Amino acid sequence: MDILDLTAVRLSEKIKGGELSAVEATKAVLGQISSVEDYYHCYVTVEEEKALRQAEQVQEKIKAGELSGPLAGVPVAIKDNICTEGMRTTCSSRILYNFIPTYTATAAKALKEAGAIVLGKANMDEFAMGSTTETSYYGVTKNPWNPEHVPGGSSGGSCAAVAAREAFCALGSDTGGSIRQPSSFCGVTGLKPTYGTVSRYGLIAYGSSLDQIGPVAKDVADCAALLEVLAVHDPKDSTSVRREETDFTAALVQDVKGMRIGIPKDYMGEGLDPQVREAVEQAAKVLEEQGAIVEGFDLSLVEYAIPAYYVIASAEASSNLSRFDGVKYGYRTEDYEGLHNMYKKTRSEGFGEEVKRRIMLGSFVLSSGYYDAYYLKALRTKALIKQAFDRAFEKYDVILGPTAPTTAPRLGESLKDPLQMYLGDIYTVSVNLAGLPGMSVPYGIDDKGLPIGVQFIGDAFQENKVIRAGYALEQTREWQMPDTKKGGR
Amino acid sequence: MAREYETVIGLEVHVELATKTKIFCGCSTEFGGAPNTHTCPVCTGMPGSLPVLNKQVVEYAMAVGLATDCQIHQKCKFDRKNYFYPDNPQNYQISQLYLPICHDGWVEIETEEGRKKIGIHEIHMEEDAGKLIHDEWGECSLVDFNRSGVPLIEIVSEPDMRSAEEVIAYLDKLRLIIQYLGASDCKLQEGSMRADVNLSVREKGSEVFGTRTEMKNLNSFKAIARAIEGEKNRQIDLLEEGHAVIQETRRWDDTKESSYPMRSKEDAQDYRYFPDPDLVPIVISDEWLDQIRGRQPELRTEKLERYKEEFDIPQYDAQILTSSKKLADIFEATTAICQKPKKVSNWLMGETLRLLKEHSQEPEDLAFSPENLAKLISLTEEGTINNKAAKEVFEQVFAEDIDPEVYVEEHGLKSVSDEGELRRVIEEIVTANPQSVADYKSGKKKAIGFLVGQTMKAMKGKADPGAVNKILAEILEK
């Protein structure tokens, strides 16, 4: 078997077992990057030298017995909105084209301390705003299953890198589906943890009350292993939660006997691609055969999730992104007259269309006279959506549904109609509004040869149930990865 | 007949809290470091950084709220105030709009017209901004973020004040309360206490408020008094001439004794306040509130009453001593050592205040130790040094906090109490000044003063004047 086909956990086992070294693994993946990266463009920045040096150090520590965790020696990609000291962090925006952080995000630090080797920074939609990775200032990422299609977004670079075997696993971030949707489009497994589980310190904020960093990997076991490393209470993040149970790998058992699984009827109706619907129904059937109790139910309020999400996320973004002003770091316009002209020109030139659209939307909904009608109403809607989920979790252990209404669209189609693009988030945004964990697991290929993802949603802090259900389903499916040998040739 | 006007004033007072670290990060709040040395990713607004609230800020705010009879919002939160300015690294200030920590309180002030309650609308917590330095010669401005994130409370009064006198009394009251709590040193000149004045005028007897202006850049009590007077007159003149007062923010120029408009209400920015999603709501339990209540120190009024009772000192002394926390602290500490409250009080109210005035200093600047003042008092009480020498020694204590015993020894300031030596010198003086002796004997009793003076001069000031008088009288009456 090719090294590159190994999962992160298996790779680490082999390295710890002495079958191969962290340096060999890093060289293998860097080799893959050099042969296919031009074609897929998963990264904004690749740091070959740094990765090799880190691999050597990690290998030494593994030899000395100082590193023994499940990620020791595993080369990873980090989404480019997660700060890495000394390594350029751009959020795929022009406005941060030269920004080199002075500190490392808590999540990235945890990964490095666990012995993961940072290959570089994964491409994304600018400031995580978008569903296709086409809003990146540094060029689009292509879907490794079919380069004429988008990888999804905003963590499109992270997910495509894992699919194209340009990284063994990756960190993404999810504000409205940004881990789960591209995972679904790229045929990889991505988990968005309960809000507060992974520290946001060092994650360049989009919608602070919704943002969560999470793992992107080849399978559920890798996601669980990554989450175990990431789920650490951080005193630097006031919204970080001290969790009692973080033994996520313990949930990796193929046993769903008696597990109550609900399928929201609202998720299975109009707008859902029939092939995706079929995959969800097939997954339900398979789980039922394994002893789970599956039934449909009315979740309600689904149609309000998207407007509420875009109001809240844009409002927070309009304030979060105000620090990018050309004064302290990043891009500053060439010619300007006075401070206000500098601000205006810098921001007009530094931000892309989608980011500017959301800043304007967010500024509008927070303006005096509109605050109550939009922002407060959206917050009330958010609370109602949370209640709808609370009611569902009185009856069910997990919720099963599609991750996205369709498989990956063709490049260049989505941005023509942003509103239509926003509607693609319909099954993922509620999970962020309610602060719940959700995971996309690949399940089937459509007639275009593109992967389909199904989504498991759990109650707050119930990642273990999501992992258990996802793992059980995964065991019944055929292993499929795109053939990247076609890449670039 | 000329119309009579009434001035209506409300105050927004910013107070820098005396915490060791900033409100949302661990950086030092110390004043005067090299630019951008007390900074980190949080207080410089680096991407991805997050604020974490300093608990001490909440405790100080609660303490000030309790001392001003405020209600405490036991569930309060922070909001973002969005505006672009380079001294504000995130381009939003973390403050409290929707649920400030304290609300609906009051303090009592005393003026010549009697006592009066001034309402406090609210007290909220917020972060200070950095400092911009404009390069006069170059083409750039520089920013120092050392002050960025220093904790502030803003105390917003009701429009209950009617004169500069009341405003000063109110500010003085706040200053004392906060100093007594140890929550801030409240130095106007250094900016740890800043006041913005909202002022309007209306015809006497009117129930409705006139249009108000907000005055900024007031950094002394005197400037505040002058600005109030100036603004009141400006507004009355406008009204008298049939013009309207425009609602605006004005900047006071104390050297020109006039103000000029900074921005009008039309230019007022929409700050787009919304709850800061990076900070969780602050929940103040009953236990926490009780704990702070229990820890409240004795405030001025209580201290004043106790001084009269416990130390048997007059109202006037007690008022002056308690007018500054520092003065009161020195008084108590010195009295505890030497057990002579009235003597301590005299030194503090006399020489200490005189020297402070001479050096243009505030009582908060006092640097001498109670031990040395107590020693000095003992030296005078024992008669080891006379008053003149004591004043000389005190100047040294005040300036350098020297040990009076050592100083007296080293400088040979001890009074000569050897009566034989003194009598011999006085006899010489008497012999050398027959005219004065004759004057005295002929009834001009004042002539003794000259002889005492001559004796002191001969003794180089080291004689006890009481003893000199006594011996002289004996000799002359013979």
Q: Scanning the structure block, which residue is given the tokens 């007159």?
A: B233
Structure confidence by residue, pLDDT tens digits, B230-276: 999 999 999 999 999 999 999 999 888 889 998 877 677 899 999 99
Q: Using an 8 Å Cβ cutoff, are B22 and B43 in contact?
A: yes
Binding-site residues on chain B for chain A (CB distance < 8 A): 41, 44-53, 80, 82, 84, 86, 89-92, 143, 270, 272-274, 277-280
Best of B82, B91, B133, B134 to disrupt the A interface (most A CBs within 10 Å) is B91
Mean pLDDT of A303-320: 97
The DSSP secondary-structure symbol of A301 reads -
Q: Using an 8 Å Cβ cutoff, are A187 and A481 in contact?
A: yes
pLDDT at A359: 98
CB pairs below 8 Å between A and B: how many? 96
Residue of A nearest to B54 (CA): A238
Mean pLDDT of B335-360: 93
Mean pLDDT of A26-32: 98
Percent of chain A with pLDDT over 90: 94
Task: Among A165-179, B41-55, B460-474, name the one with the lowest average pLDDT.
Answer: B460-474
| C-beta atoms of B47 and A323 within 8 A | yes
Does A318 fall in a domain?
no
| C-beta atoms of B45 and A328 within 8 A | yes
Measured distance CA(B109)–CA(B179) in Å, rounded? 17
Mean pLDDT of A16-38: 97
For the record, the structure tokens of B30 come out as: 């110390």
CB within 8 Å of A116: residues ≥ 6 apart? A71, A72, A74, A75, A76, A229
pLDDT at B418: 67
Burial of A50 (0-12, 13-18, 19+ CB in 10 A): middle
Question: For residue B266, how many other CB atoms are within 10 A of its CB?
Answer: 8
Q: What are the backbone angles phi and psi of residue B168, rounded to the nearest 5°?
A: -65, -40
Mean pLDDT of chain B: 91
Measured distance CA(B218)–CA(B257) in Å, rounded? 11
pLDDT at B364: 85
pLDDT(A489) > 80: no
Amino acid making up residue B341: P
Chain A residues closer than 8 Å to B280 by CB: 238-239
Task: Among A438-442, B78-82, B135-139, B321-325, name the one with the lowest average pLDDT.
Answer: B135-139
B227-249 burial by CB neighbour count: b if 16+ within 10 A, else e? bbebbbebbbeebeeeeebeebb
Confidence of residue A1 (pLDDT cuts 50, 70, 90): low
Question: For residue A195, how many other CB atoms are within 10 A of its CB?
Answer: 22
Chain B residues closer than 8 Å to A315 by CB: 274
Measured distance CA(A107)–CA(B294) in Å, rounded? 42
CB within 8 Å of A250: residues ≥ 6 apart? A464
Chain A residues closer than 8 Å to B143 by CB: 327
Does A471 fall in a domain?
no
Helix (H) or strand (E) holding A57: helix A48-63
Percent of chain A with pLDDT over 70: 99
Residue-by-residue DSSP string for A222-246? HHHHHHHHH----TT-TT----S--
Q: Scanning the structure block, which residue is given the tokens 């380069």?
A: A147
- The packing angle between helices B434-441 and B419-432, to 10°, is 90
The shortest C-alpha distance from B91 to chain A (Å) reads 5
Please state the length of chain B.
478
Structure confidence by residue, pLDDT tens digits, A261-271: 999 999 998 89
The shortest C-alpha distance from A7 to chain B (Å) reads 30
Exactly one of A154, A155, A240, A440 is catalytic; name it.
Answer: A154
Does A240 fall in a domain?
yes
Q: What are the backbone angles phi and psi of residue A57, rounded to the nearest 5°?
A: -65, -45
Q: Are strands A117-122 and A75-79 parallel, antiparallel or unpaired?
A: parallel
Gap between the terminal Cα atoms of chain A: 22
Which of A408, A399, A400 is CA-nearest to residue A452?
Answer: A408
Q: CATH number of the domain at B419-477, out of 1.10.3210.10, 1.10.10.410, 2.40.30.30, 3.40.50.2020?
A: 1.10.10.410
Q: Print the SS3 string covering chain B.
A: CCCCEEEEEEEEEEEECCCCECCCCCCECCCCCCCCCCCCCCCCCCCCCCCCCCHHHHHHHHHHHHHCCCEECCEECCEEEECCCCCCCCCEEEECCCCCCEEEEEEEEEECCEEEEEEEEEEEEEECCCEEEECCCCCCEEEEHHHCCCEEEEEEECCCECCHHHHHHHHHHHHHHHHHHCCCCCCCCCCCEEEEEEEEEEECCCCCCCCCEEEECCCCHHHHHHHHHHHHHHHHHHHHCCCCCCCEEEEEECCCCEEEEEEEHHHCCCCCCEECCCCCCEECCHHHHHHHHHHCCCCHHHHHHHHHHHHCCCHHHHHHHCCCHHHHHHHHHHHHHHCCHHHHHHHHHHHHHHHHHHCCCCHHHCCCCHHHHHHHHHHHHCCCCCHHHHHHHHHHHHHHCCCHHHHHHHCCCCCECCHHHHHHHHHHHHHHCHHHHHHHHCCCCCHHHHHHHHHHHHCCCCECHHHHHHHHHHHHHC
| C-beta atoms of B278 and A322 within 8 A | no
Q: Are strands A398-402 and A169-174 parallel, antiparallel or unpaired?
A: unpaired
pLDDT(A347) > 60: yes
CB within 8 Å of B242: residues ≥ 6 apart? none
Which of A78, A69, A70, A72 is CA-nearest to residue A104?
Answer: A78
Residue-by-residue DSSP string for A414-477? GGG-HHHHHHTTTTTHHHHHTT--EEEEEEEE-TTS-EEEEEEEE-TT-HHHHHHHHHHHHTTS
Q: Scanning the structure block, which residue is given the tokens 């405003």?
A: B167
Chain B residues closer than 8 Å to A82 by CB: 48
Mean pLDDT of B363-389: 89
Told to judge if A154 belongs to the known catalytic residues of this protein, a careful annotator would answer yes
| C-beta atoms of A371 and B280 within 8 A | no
| C-beta atoms of A339 and B90 within 8 A | no
The shortest C-alpha distance from B275 to chain A (Å) reads 9
Of A202, A239, A328, the CB nearest to B278: A239
Of B48, B90, B279, the CB nearest to A202: B48
| C-beta atoms of A319 and B272 within 8 A | yes
Confidence of residue A411 (pLDDT cuts 50, 70, 90): very high
Of A91, A237, A327, the CB nearest to B50: A237
Of B50, B274, B279, the CB nearest to A200: B50
- 3-state secondary structure (DSSP) of residue A347: helix
Residue of B nearest to A206 (CA): B48
| C-beta atoms of B278 and A205 within 8 A | yes
Q: Using an 8 Å Cβ cutoff, are B125 and B151 in contact?
A: yes
Q: What are the C-alpha distances in Å from A437 to residues A36, A152, A154, A428, B281?
A: 33, 20, 18, 10, 23
Q: Are strands B274-275 and B282-283 parallel, antiparallel or unpaired?
A: unpaired
Told to judge if A238 belongs to the known catalytic residues of this protein, a careful annotator would answer no
Q: Using an 8 Å Cβ cutoff, are A269 and A300 in contact?
A: no
Q: What are the C-alpha distances in Å from A274 to residues A262, A277, A443, A452?
A: 19, 5, 14, 11
Chain B residues closer than 8 Å to A318 by CB: 82, 272
CB within 8 Å of B25: residues ≥ 6 apart? B40, B42, B43, B51, B52, B149
**CATH number for A17:** 3.90.1300.10
pLDDT at A488: 44
Gap between the terminal Cα atoms of chain B: 79
Chain A residues closer than 8 Å to B50 by CB: 200-201, 236-238
The range of the structural domain enclosing residue A193 comes to 3-252
Does A466 fall in a domain?
no
- 3-state secondary structure (DSSP) of residue A105: coil
Chain B residues closer than 8 Å to A87 by CB: none
| C-beta atoms of A83 and B274 within 8 A | no
| Partners of residue A367 on adjacent β-strands | none
Handedness of CA B467, B468, B474, B477 (dihedral sign): negative
Residue of A nearest to B93 (CA): A319
Helix (H) or strand (E) holding A192: strand A189-192
Exactly one of A79, A109, A121, A218 is catalytic; name it.
Answer: A79
Of A105, A327, A366, the CB nearest to B274: A366
| C-beta atoms of B48 and A203 within 8 A | yes
Residue A377: half-sphere exposure toward Cβ, Cα within 13 Å? 12
For the record, the structure tokens of A422 come out as: 């926003």
- The packing angle between helices A22-40 and A8-16, to 10°, is 150
Measured distance CA(A453)–CA(A444) in Å, rounded? 7
For the record, the structure tokens of A480 come out as: 């499929």
Structure confidence by residue, pLDDT tens digits, A294-309: 999 999 999 999 999 9
Helix (H) or strand (E) holding A262: strand A260-264
Of B52, B82, B279, the CB nearest to A319: B82
Task: Identify the residue with better confidence: A330 or B220.
Answer: A330
pLDDT at B463: 77
Task: Among A22-26, A122-126, A258-262, B374-378, name the one with the lowest average pLDDT.
Answer: B374-378
Structure confidence by residue, pLDDT tens digits, A176-197: 999 999 999 999 999 999 999 9
Residue B173: half-sphere exposure toward Cβ, Cα within 13 Å? 23
Mean pLDDT of chain A: 96
Structure confidence by residue, pLDDT tens digits, B413-427: 887 666 777 888 888
Q: In chain B, where are the structural domains located?
A: 5-288, 298-410, 419-477
Question: For residue A338, how many other CB atoms are within 10 A of its CB?
Answer: 7
For the record, the structure tokens of B431 come out as: 């012999």
| Partners of residue B120 on adjacent β-strands | B105, B157
Confidence of residue B447 (pLDDT cuts 50, 70, 90): confident
Structure confidence by residue, pLDDT tens digits, B185-204: 998 888 899 999 999 999 99
Mean pLDDT of B286-293: 96
Of B49, B52, B92, the CB nearest to A238: B52
Q: Using an 8 Å Cβ cutoff, are B64 and B123 in contact?
A: yes
Q: Domain count of chain A? A: 1
Mean pLDDT of A89-100: 98
Exactly one of A21, A136, A178, A183 is catalytic; name it.
Answer: A178
Q: What are the backbone angles phi and psi of residue B269, rounded to the nearest 5°?
A: -80, 155
Measured distance CA(A301)–CA(A385) in Å, rounded? 6
Percent of chain B with pLDDT over 90: 69
Does A403 fall in a domain?
no
pLDDT at A421: 87
Structure confidence by residue, pLDDT tens digits, A452-476: 999 999 999 999 999 999 999 999 9
Beta strand spans in A80-144 (E): 117-122
Residue A478 backbone zone (phi > 0: left; psi -120 to 50: alpha; other: beta): beta
Mean pLDDT of B94-102: 97
Q: Using an 8 Å Cβ cutoff, are A165 and A156 in contact?
A: no
pLDDT(A28) > 90: yes
Chain B residues closer than 8 Å to A96 by CB: 47
Cis peptide before A154 (omega within 30 of 0): yes
Task: Identify the residue with better confidence: A456 or B221.
Answer: A456
pTM beyond 0.80: yes
pLDDT at A111: 98
Mean pLDDT of A215-220: 98
Told to judge if A318 belongs to the known catalytic residues of this protein, a careful annotator would answer no
The shortest C-alpha distance from A102 to chain B (Å) reads 8
